């Protein structure tokens, strides 16, 4: 067996794990990343695209903001289309100058991977059977297999950045964690295509046939979504069927501009929320999707992963720079406060913008629930105060400091 040593063992080379690794490296805090897939596989996952300003600042702090600053698109706002009318949520004006940046998760992961390699930091891709041990002690270990060899890392902390299906959360005894789950009976069918996007900024559409979102990755690449029942399978949706449905749900002037083309990727993401409490067990921390999932509306998933990283980075920097270990238990509390806000906001937007055939909440049948949600949306869009409530949360609530 090969023995390794580091300060922080990071499980998962998604955006959470790689960003944490880079930030720690800026303060000279040694870390090793363990990823079960290949780098190409990780880069093949098409996911998020809208970044809060706090995340952008964090990427810059990690020394990974150059391409983002050059190629990322600043979006001043977005449209909400409902009842045949388009309402502009002017993020910049409503929040006193804050905006979001459109830059794909794949590009972020690429930049973080390149930076990690350039800095000569240690990563093991295709690391199998990763398993944390003794995380309640001051001497945790992580074992894994790589290219037929057994390895063990001795470390101070383990960061579980390994997504919803990872090993980190499962290694916390069930009696020591609570999992809160909710699920909608629908998902988003997403299509990526190399076609000029229908709009310079995003359009969230509420249509009687269901929700649709026109998003983008660049001037040449579109990312579009339509709400579909969870019973639909992606194989049942030809590109033509997607384009027809998407066009129907767009505002007419956007539908006229729509340029279609072959899909590069097509998948259905279920709409659900999940929070694990607490987000730590001794010296093991859960970061990003390992600890929580949000419904996609509002683009909070990746952004909450980033705010977890910010909280954990502060804690670990304090441990190593000030010798203060008392701050360690505060990670979960700080990260969770923002996570609950994110899940609440995403559910709120989902409720107002989607079609509900079967949702019942408490004593409300779907017809009444839908009418309340419609009235809520109209109320919030009609007033500047209402639009500000949406804008403030969309650009991202402030990060908490220790
Ligand atoms: P992940 O990106 O899941 O990374 C975890 C990494 O850990 C993976 O590389 C995985 O291979 C690795 N891993 C897992 N198990 C192990 C193990 N046992 N050992 C070692 N490594 C392991 N968010 C948005 O904001 N907007 C969107 O449009 C959006 N779309 C999404 C679509 C889909 C289909 C999904 C699944 C998510 C989407 N999200 C979206 C959410 C967003 O992509 C995630 O919040 C983000 O990827 C979280 O990053 P992460 O690093 O925490 O987890
Ligand atoms: C995207 C996804 C979202 O959930 C959202 O609210 C906005 C944009 C996207 O993938 O581009």
Tens digit of each residue's pLDDT (9 = 90 or more) over 237-281: 999 999 999 999 999 999 999 999 999 999 999 999 999 999 999
Residue 297 near ligand 2, beta carbon < 6 Å: yes
Candidates 194, 192, 217, 199; CA nearest to 254 is 199
Closest ligand by atom to 189 CA: 1
What is residue 9's three-state secondary structure?
A: strand
Q: What is the pLDDT of residues 197-239, one digit of tens each?
A: 999 999 999 999 999 999 999 999 999 999 999 999 999 999 9
Directed axis angle between helix 105-118 and helix 15-26, to 10°? 40
Q: What is the pLDDT of residues 284-321, one digit of tens each?
A: 999 999 999 999 999 999 999 999 999 999 999 999 99
Torsion on CA atoms 210, 216, 217, 219, rounded to nearest 10: 160
Candidates 203, 197, 198, 188; CA nearest to 217 is 197
Residue 50 near ligand 2, beta carbon < 6 Å: yes
| DSSP code string of 229-275 | ETT--GGG--HHHHHHHHHHHS-HHHHHH-----EEEEEEEEEEEEE
Which residues are CB-neighbours of 349 under 8 A, at least 6 positions away?
204, 297, 298, 390
Write the residue with the smallest CA distance to atom 11 of ligand 2.
Answer: 49
Write the residue with the smallest CA distance to atom 9 of ligand 2.
Answer: 49
Residue 36 near ligand 1, beta carbon < 6 Å: yes
Write the residue with the smallest CA distance to atom 2 of ligand 2.
Answer: 299
What is the mean predicted confidence (pLDDT) over 164-183?
98
For the entire predicted model, the pTM comes to 0.97
Residue 169's pLDDT is what? 98
> How much of the chain, in percent, has pLDDT values that exceed 70?
100
Which residues are CB-neighbours of 92 under 8 A, at least 6 positions away?
76, 77, 98, 99
Residue 77 near ligand 2, beta carbon < 6 Å: no
The Å distance, Cα 157 to ligand 2 centre, comes to: 33
Residue 358's pLDDT is what? 77
Candidates 397, 400, 387, 308; CA nearest to 93 is 387
Count of all residues that appear for the chain in the document: 402
How sure is the predictor about 366, in pLDDT bands with cuts at 50, 70 and 90? Answer: confident
Closest ligand by atom to 393 CA: 2
> How much of the chain, in percent, has pLDDT values that exceed 90?
96
User: Cβ-count burial of 61 within 10 angstroms (0-12 exposed, 13-18 middle, 19+ buried)?
Assistant: middle
What is the mean predicted confidence (pLDDT) over 370-385?
97
Residue 364's pLDDT is what? 83
Residue 161 near ligand 1, beta carbon < 6 Å: yes
Residue 215 near ligand 2, beta carbon < 6 Å: yes
**What is the Cα Rg of the chain in Å?**
21
Q: What is the pLDDT of residues 86-142, one digit of tens each?
A: 999 999 999 999 999 999 999 999 999 999 999 999 999 999 999 999 999 999 999
What is the mean predicted confidence (pLDDT) over 328-343?
98
Measured CA to CA, the distance from residue 61 to residue 167 in angstroms comes to: 29
**CA-to-CA separations, 111 to 69, 100, 105, 264, 350, in angstroms, rounded:** 12, 19, 10, 21, 31
Q: Does residue 360 carry a pLDDT above 80?
A: no
Residue 46's pLDDT is what? 86
Write the residue with the smallest CA distance to atom 15 of ligand 1.
Answer: 166
Residue 191 near ligand 2, beta carbon < 6 Å: no
Q: Does residue 371 carry a pLDDT above 90?
A: yes
Residue 362's pLDDT is what? 72
Atom number of ligand 2 nearest to Cα 216:
11
Q: Does residue 361 carry a pLDDT above 80?
A: no
Residue 37 near ligand 1, beta carbon < 6 Å: yes
The Å distance, Cα 104 to ligand 2 centre, comes to: 10
Closest ligand by atom to 75 CA: 2
Residue 299 near ligand 2, beta carbon < 6 Å: yes
The DSSP element (H or E) to which 284 belongs, if any, is strand 284-286
Residue 212's pLDDT is what? 98
What is the mean predicted confidence (pLDDT) over 351-375?
88
Residue 62's pLDDT is what? 98
């Amino acid at each position: 067996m090969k023995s390794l040593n580091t300060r922080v063992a990071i499980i998962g080379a998604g955006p959470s794990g790689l960003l944490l690794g880079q930030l720690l490296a800026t303060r000279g805090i040694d870390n090793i990343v363990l990823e079960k897939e290949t780098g190409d596989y990780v880069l093949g996952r098409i996911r998020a695209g809208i970044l809060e300003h706090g995340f952008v600042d964090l990427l810059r702090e990690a020394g990974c903001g150059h391409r983002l600053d050059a190629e990322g698109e600043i979006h001043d706002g977005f449209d909400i289309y409902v009842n045949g009318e388009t309402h502009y949520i002017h993020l910049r004006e409503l929040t006193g100058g804050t905006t979001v940046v459109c830059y794909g998760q794949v590009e972020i992961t690429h930049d973080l991977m390149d930076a990690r390699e350039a800095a000569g930091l240690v990563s093991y891709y295709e690391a199998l059977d990763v398993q944390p041990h003794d995380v309640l002690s001051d001497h945790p270990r992580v074992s894994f297999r790589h290219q037929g060899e057994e390895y063990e890392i001795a470390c101070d902390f383990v960061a579980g950045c390994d997504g919803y299906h990872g090993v980190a959360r499962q290694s916390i005894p069930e009696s020591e964690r609570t999992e809160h789950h909710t699920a909608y009976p629908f998902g988003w069918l997403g299509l990526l295509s190399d076609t000029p996007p229908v709009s310079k900024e995003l359009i969230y559409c509420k249509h009687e046939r269901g929700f649709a979102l026109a998003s983008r990755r660049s001037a040449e690449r579109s990312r579009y979504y339509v709400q579909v029942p969870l019973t639909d399978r992606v194989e049942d949706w030809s590109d033509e069927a997607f384009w027809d449905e998407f066009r129907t749900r767009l505002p007419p002037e956007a539908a006229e501009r729509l340029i279609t083309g072959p899909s590069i990727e097509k998948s259905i993401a279920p709409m659900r929320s999940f929070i694990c409490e607490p987000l730590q067990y001794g010296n093991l921390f859960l970061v990003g999707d390992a600890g929580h999932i949000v419904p996609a509306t509002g683009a909070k998933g990746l952004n909450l992963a980033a705010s977890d990283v910010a909280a954990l980075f502060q804690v670990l920097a304090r441990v190593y720079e000030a010798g203060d270990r008392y701050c360690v238990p505060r990670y979960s509390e700080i990260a969770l406060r923002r996570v609950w806000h994110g899940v609440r906001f995403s559910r709120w937007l989902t409720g107002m913008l989607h079609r509900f055939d079967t949702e019942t909440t408490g004593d409300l049948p779907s017809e009444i629930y839908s009418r309340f949600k419609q009235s809520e949306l109209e109320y919030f869009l009609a007033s500047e105060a209402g639009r500000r409530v949406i804008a403030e949360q969309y650009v991202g609530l402030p990060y908490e400091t220790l």
